[in-house]
Structure 1
Amino acid sequence: MCILGSSGSGKTTLLDAISGRLRRTGTLLGEVCVNGRALRRDQFQDCFSYVMQSDIFLSGLTVRETLRYTAMLTTRQGSADFFQKKVEAVMAELNLSHVADQVIGHYNFGGISSGERRRVSIAVQLLQDPMDLTSVDFQSKEREIETYKQVHRLESAYKESAICRRTLENIERTKCLKNLPMVPFKTKDLPGTLCKLGVLLRRVTRNLLRNKQAVSMRLLQNLILGLFILFFLLRVQNDMLKGAVQDRVGLLYQLVGATPYTGMLNAVTLFPVLRAVSDQESLDGLYEKWQMLLAYVLHILPFSIIATVIFSSVSYWALGLYPEAARFGYFSAAVLAPHLIGECLALVLLGIVQNPNIINSLVAVLITAGLLIGSGFVRNIQEMNFPFRIYSYFTFQKYCCEILVVNEFYGLNFTCGNSNNSVMNNPMCTITQGIQFIEGTCPGATSRFTTNFLILYAYIPLLVILGIAVFKLRDYFTSR
């Protein structure tokens, strides 16, 4: 059978209706029968599948790994040998065994051929054990007219054949049977939520580890930022006339402003393809979109921690910040949080906006606004207008900056040139201790040190929860 029509005529919508992908929209008229038994609308997906036009996969996985993870998402119970045999059988059926250990790659950069990618798409659907599988070919306007003519000739010849008459007779005879065959539903033994999350986490992590450029970007981008700051400042001083306070404030301002942006760059670079995969696989009922989001958040944690430790180990000691191991630990923890917050904020927005370039601009605006108002470095928060003071309490930069200021300035003693009177009368020499700067910039921050840490890290789970809610809404509104 062939479904033929011009672009926009409803071919895909018809297949979506048959396969149960039209979940909430549209009014379906008529009935669907299998072995003479009428199916309810919510049973369509349990019987049928079809291969979508776009072949969307994680490019870093091999064919065998892609199919194995799909099999693990469709079956609750099964040994390693069970999944291996199931995958090997599907690959043998679709002539994919010779490319089983090749990475799928991109259309324009390495990997398997487009025909093999197409067969992998078919294999993914076969692993879901459908009763019937329909394949959708790519639309091509140049082929539509010629294809229509050929299908029309085949249709005419088939209607006149004995095979067509016998098929119609068998259909009519089946309707009259008293004992109708059972409906061959798909095997419904889906794994639990935690099991699915574990499979997705393993799949996302393995895909990232195959992308050496992405791993390098994650681990080294903050270090590159630190090297630039290091060569710019060389080493902070304790002499007020040599920028003891100014250099430290500029350093902290750069750290709080840049680390969320590097986190955002990771999200807009790596997550859109995962979002596309989840959009497709969630329609098959393998999992929900928010589970892919949560798997992504979990997989970035170790990479972000390692990247922050590398960055802090080089920049903290080389710049000559407060020489104490505990202070170094607080510094690293305070720098890690905005990096994660920037990435989580981008993930939330990626659930709303499709274009990553727009996300880039939105996050940059939000980070800049939060830094100007919440840091207290550009203007003292207590001197701002009331609306801006209120807004500052909702910015993570306020809490991060207070932590870094206390961590660096508490206990410091400053000098001011030599001891002659002309130097001592310099207005810059009024600050002789770090506590004076702390109380002038963020009064009471020393007593809020632990509280600020708790509030700062509370942003991460709050953004994750918000992201889950956004992706649930995305699943609701984008499901056809």
Structure 2
Amino acid sequence: MMEAEMDARSQVAAEGGEGGRSVFVKPQRLVTLKFEEVVYKIRINAAPDKKGGKDYAIRKTKSAERTILEGVSGAVLPGEMMALLGPSGSGKTTLLTALGGRLARPGRQLTGLITYNDRPFSNALNRNMGFVTQDDVLYPHLTVSDTLVYTALLRLPGSLSRQEKVAQAEAVMSELGLTACRNSIIGGPMIRGVSGGERKRVSIGQEMLINPSILFLDEPTSGLDSTIAARIVSTLLNLTNAGRTVIMTIHQPSSRIFYMFHKVLLLADGHPIYYGRASDATDYFSTIGYAPSVPVNPADFLLDLANGVSPDETHDDQLDTREALISAYKVHLHDKVVEELREVTKQYKESEPDKLRNEWCTSWWEQFRVLLERGLKERKHESFSGLKIGQVTATSLLGGLLWFRSGGHVQDQVGLLFFMLGFWIFFPVFNAIFTFPQERMMLTKERASRMYRLSSYFMARTAGDLPMELLLPTISITITYWMGGLNPVAANYFMFLFVTLLTVLVSQGFGLALGALFMDTKKATTLASVILLCFMLAGGYYVQHVPAFISWIKYITLSFYAFKLQIATQFSLADTYQCTPDVRCSIQNYPIINAIGFDHKALAAVALFLMLLLYRLAAYLGLMRVGALH
């Protein structure tokens, strides 16, 4: 077994990289990962007794605990690659997430000791750690080169120049065999892009860019053919040659891949049933009476045992088999693991650990600039989509035709003002609601890696939306304003345009706040519909004589202040209208305008600016809350 293992590693080392030599230098810090008696439980709602009864209400409110991990221990040293094996639901992904410092959520309890160089998890360590999730969370419209270059610009230290960071991204592409597809977009469910194997290598490349001391991977070979899977694992094996620590979960690896691992931890229902060298696994189980009856892939054999299927027992004995293996681990391996952990701790304490600096890799401004550039490139297809432009243009032309040259008809002009106001409240709100929920997975992934500050992301995302948020309303207002026969004086047009653009920004902030606070587009859009309907009804156009007990609602609505300013841009106290065939009356006596009034215009403008700030502050706080849950 030992000779087979060494031959396999020698073979893959010769195949990986350029001549088997990694382009990556030794990491700044070598990390020894140690975990002792890790237990993880979650609280779940107990299933109520649907038959009812006097205790039904009590049982319905009870909660129960479910144990996901039970007393798992082990250690991974620099230069080692360990695989977490086990059937679905065995807890291997949960363990990997816990070891990567990403398992802090309400309603869950993690106990035991997890240390890195005999120290607890820290943000400084997190920046020297790579974590590849099972699902490839990537921007679909960026190319492979764009994805890696922007990651390098954000995650590599500011001491490196832009050219050096780009060169590192190029080296990663070469190492992972991505040069041929460097200019292909990533793609997604509805967009054709690179293959699944190439997408997985891009995800790994993003973490390899920082030259990590320790690398975690969740199912890096999932959905890949055996050749591509072996190539990826061999590349990861090459990373350990420079002293990196690599831990991964993997499902049914081939025998060739299995012998690449230095260590294997096998889980069954959250319990460890084997921990040790990969080459010693089958020998261990043979000594306790579970020898394979025919030559078989050792990984398949181990997974059969973890599922409770032994070579000479029937399907009905699965539970007994698992219990026997759990007991055997406690008898034969547990003390050895404890002794190994003791030796690891003793050896590490003999050396003086270096301190990692707890600071951001790049400045706030650099993060903002890179995120803005990346966001504009990713979303230009959406912002400048023909569908959105066509929607706005068609609505503007229709409004212009329906109110064509309506000047002189006060009712029609006021109706046109309120129509444009309503459209440019609803349109930005329902566009903005989807902003943060759609990027939640990406934001969670990148923030967990501490790629950038939340404030730099928020400001870059907001600034990146401004061009289209301001350009489309400008085009729309220009079309409808002049076709509808509104006040033809240029100053009035620009004042009206300014009020509309301010309203758009406030509406967008309202949509961003709802999306960030709920992170559920269905709930957010439903609530937005109800609130905006209240805004429009209280805006002063539909109802002028509002009962006193509910009239206060107009003072918290966006539409009331915006409508007041719109009217002020089109009419003045000196204007008159034809109130009877022979008499002209002051415009301030017109019912709708009289209800709105020409007074307190400065206060209305201040109210809109305050809403602009408060809504965006609420959106930012909502994003902070989301980050706190991960």
Q: TM-score, normalised on structure 1?
A: 0.82
Distance 1:452 1:127 in 2: 51
Q: Which digits, 9 at most, give the CA deviation of each residue in 1:281-310, with x for residues without a partner?
A: 111121344543332211122222222221
Alpha-carbon distance, 1:449 to partner: 2.6
Which stretch of structure 1 is more off in the superposition, 130-139 or 72-81? 130-139
Distance 1:404 1:171 in 2: 73
Matches within 5 A, 1:149-160: 157-159=279-281
CA contact under 8 A between 2:405 and 2:483: conserved in structure 1? Answer: yes
Which stretch of structure 1 is more off in the superposition, 349-358 or 255-264? 349-358
Alpha-carbon distance, 1:313 to partner: 1.5
Give the partner amino acid of 2:462: V
Distance 1:337 1:222 in 2: 18
Structure 1 position 372 matched with structure 2 position 537 = yes
Aligned to 1:456: 608
Alpha-carbon distance, 1:158 to partner: 3.0
Which stretch of structure 1 is more off in the superposition, 78-87 or 186-195? 186-195
CA contact under 8 A between 1:63 and 1:102: conserved in structure 2? Answer: yes
CA contact under 8 A between 2:535 and 2:559: conserved in structure 1? Answer: yes
Aligned to 1:85: 167
Aligned to 2:571: 409
Q: Secondary structure at the match of 1:442?
A: helix
Aligned to 2:406: 236
Distance 1:201 1:145 in 2: 36
CA RMSD of aligned residues (A): 3.5
Q: Which digits, 9 at most, give the CA deviation of each residue in 1:30-88, with x for residues without a partner?
A: 44455xx4121326635543211221222221111111221222222321211111111
Matches within 5 A, 1:96-245: 96-137=178-219, 147=252, 157-159=279-281, 177=347, 179-180=350-351, 182=353, 190-209=361-380, 211=381, 214-216=384-386, 219=389, 221-238=391-408, 244-245=409-410
Q: Which digits, 9 at most, give the CA deviation of each residue in 1:390-442, with x for residues without a partner?
A: 111011111111111222232544347xxxxxx73xxxx76634233278533
Which of residues 508, 514, 517 is equivalent to 1:352? 517
CA contact under 8 A between 2:435 and 2:515: conserved in structure 1? Answer: no
CA contact under 8 A between 1:58 and 1:273: conserved in structure 2? Answer: no
Matches within 5 A, 1:423-442: 424=581, 432-437=585-590, 441-442=594-595
Aligned to 1:255: 420
Alpha-carbon distance, 1:110 to partner: 1.4
Aligned to 2:457: 292
Distance 1:273 1:237 in 2: 44
Q: Which digits, 9 at most, give the CA deviation of each residue in 1:361-405, with x for residues without a partner?
A: 2222211111101x211111xx32334221110111111111112
Q: Which digits, 9 at most, give the CA deviation of each residue in 1:110-134, with x for residues without a partner?
A: 1211211111111111123321212
Aligned to 1:241: none
How has the CA–CA distance of structure 1 residues 193 and 22 changed in structure 2, closer, same or farther, with 3 Å as cutoff? farther
CA contact under 8 A between 1:19 and 1:47: conserved in structure 2? Answer: no
Aligned to 1:165: none
CA contact under 8 A between 1:330 and 1:407: conserved in structure 2? Answer: yes
Aligned to 2:153: 72
CA contact under 8 A between 1:253 and 1:377: conserved in structure 2? Answer: yes
Q: Secondary structure at the match of 1:49?
A: strand
Structure 1 position 60 matched with structure 2 position 165 = no
Q: Secondary structure at the match of 2:200?
A: helix
Give the partner amino acid of 2:617: I
Which stretch of structure 1 is more off in the superposition, 60-69 or 127-136? 127-136
Identity %: 24
Distance 1:360 1:347 in 2: 11
Structure showing greater radius of gyration is: 2
Gaps of 5+ in 2: 1-81, 224-248, 259-265, 267-273, 285-336
How has the CA–CA distance of structure 1 residues 328 and 8 changed in structure 2, closer, same or farther, with 3 Å as cutoff? farther
CA contact under 8 A between 1:290 and 1:472: conserved in structure 2? Answer: no
Gaps of 5+ in 1: 163-167, 239-243, 417-422
- Structure with greater strand percent: 2
CA contact under 8 A between 2:567 and 2:593: conserved in structure 1? Answer: no
Count of residue correspondences: 449
Distance 1:160 1:8 in 2: 23
Alpha-carbon distance, 1:266 to partner: 2.2
Give the partner amino acid of 1:80: R
Q: Which digits, 9 at most, give the CA deviation of each residue in 1:136-174, with x for residues without a partner?
A: 12879xxx9993997789977434689xxxxx9998876
Alpha-carbon distance, 1:457 to partner: 2.9
Aligned to 1:475: 627
How has the CA–CA distance of structure 1 residues 309 and 438 changed in structure 2, closer, same or farther, with 3 Å as cutoff? farther
Give the partner amino acid of 2:397: L
Which of residues 461, 469, 473 is equivalent to 1:308? 473
Distance 2:186 2:87 in 1: 31
Q: Secondary structure at the match of 1:432?
A: strand
CA contact under 8 A between 1:268 and 1:346: conserved in structure 2? Answer: yes
Give the partner amino acid of 2:84: I
Aligned to 2:326: none
Aligned to 1:16: 97
- Structure with greater helix percent: 1
Distance 1:66 1:38 in 2: 35
Give the partner amino acid of 1:384: V
Alpha-carbon distance, 1:444 to partner: 4.2
Distance 2:525 2:552 in 1: 26
Which of residues 331, 338, 359 is equivalent to 2:496? 331
Q: Secondary structure at the match of 1:414?
A: strand
Give the partner amino acid of 2:571: F
Aligned to 1:361: 526
How has the CA–CA distance of structure 1 residues 106 and 149 changed in structure 2, closer, same or farther, with 3 Å as cutoff? closer
